[in-house]
Amino acid sequence: DTEVTQTPKHLVMGMTNKKSLKCEQHMGHRAMYWYKQKAKKPPELMFVYSYEKLSINESVPSRFSPECPNSSLLNLHLHALQPEDSALYLCASSPRGSGRAKDEQFFGPGTRLTVL
Amino acid sequence: AQSVTQLGSHVSVSEGALVLLRCNYSSSVPPYLFWYVQYPNQGLQLLLKYTSAATLVKGINGFEAEFKKSETSFHLTKPSAHMSDAAEYFCAASNSGNTPLVFGKGTRLSVIA
């Protein structure tokens, strides 16, 4: 298995809802990432997990809460989002810990989130 | 801090013509460099990467890129464009250590029949 999977593919939620995004990889990668991508923009890094520990949090609002239950799974819990949080949320993984700068990142297809 | 500049937010070429997408990095220490492609409503896919081995790097789908330290550049080329090459292309750089991958703003490639 050489891919990163993300569910759901699309998500529409209200500002008072609680929802979660899921990301999974079975490549044995030890670093996993969440990115937010707005239309016609590059991905913006949100969080990095290295060996299942949070290593980078790019000053993301607390309404986004990441979780890494095991080395294959990464979740992003969403609560009380704002309409401006609507975006494509991408998950990625890389083989070794996040300090290995020469490792490429493998991206999932993303979850298209719309906040009403 | 590292920055990546992609000259031209939109490039349009005719089918069969040369594709040239430009990327320049800012650091005095050559970083690791990557080109990713993103098709509509999809994630990013790695085209190729430079990790200080050969300066001419060959990637998937007939793309290649040449690392030029003197010009701090890593431009992406393909000899003959195909309609299926129409997509968004991102150049990215990373330095040693626990620093995030830095993306350029992207270049949208259109291929005209």
| pLDDT for residue B28 | 74
CB contact under 8 A, B36 and A107: yes
Contacts of B45 in chain A (CB under 8 A): 107
Q: Which of A42, A107, A65, A60 is nearest to B105 (CA)?
A: A42
Query: A63: distance to nearest CA of chain B, Å?
Result: 22
For the beta sheet containing A64-70, the strands, ordered from the edge strand earlier in sequence to the opposite edge, are A4-7, A18-25, A73-79, A64-70
Q: Do A102 and B49 touch (CB under 8 A)?
A: yes
Quote the pLDDT of residue B100. 82
pLDDT at site B6: 97
What pLDDT sits at residue A79?
95
pLDDT at A99: 67
Which residues of chain B register pLDDT less than 70?
Answer: 97-98
Q: Can you tell me the distance from the alpha carbon of B29 to that of B52, in angstroms, rounded to the nearest whole number?
A: 11
Give the Cα-Cα-Cα angle A73, A76, A82 (nearest 5 degrees).
165
Burial of A105 (0-12, 13-18, 19+ CB in 10 A): buried
A10-13 and A111-115: which strand pairing? parallel
**Dihedral (Cα; A85, A91, A96, A101), 10-degree rounding:** -60
- Closest A-chain CA to B103: A42
Query: pLDDT 10s per residue in chain A (116 long)?
Result: 679 999 999 999 999 899 999 999 999 999 999 999 999 999 999 999 999 999 888 889 999 999 999 999 999 999 999 999 999 999 999 998 776 778 889 999 999 999 99
Give B99's contacts in chain A (Cβ within 8 Å). 101
- What is the C-alpha to C-alpha distance for residues A40 and B106, in angstroms, rounded to an integer? 8
- Tokens representing B14 are 């005719």
- Could A102 and B45 be called an inter-chain contact, meaning their C-beta atoms sit closer than 8 Å? no
* pLDDT given for residue A97 in this prediction: 78
| Count of pairs with CB atoms under 8 A, one residue in A, one in B | 61
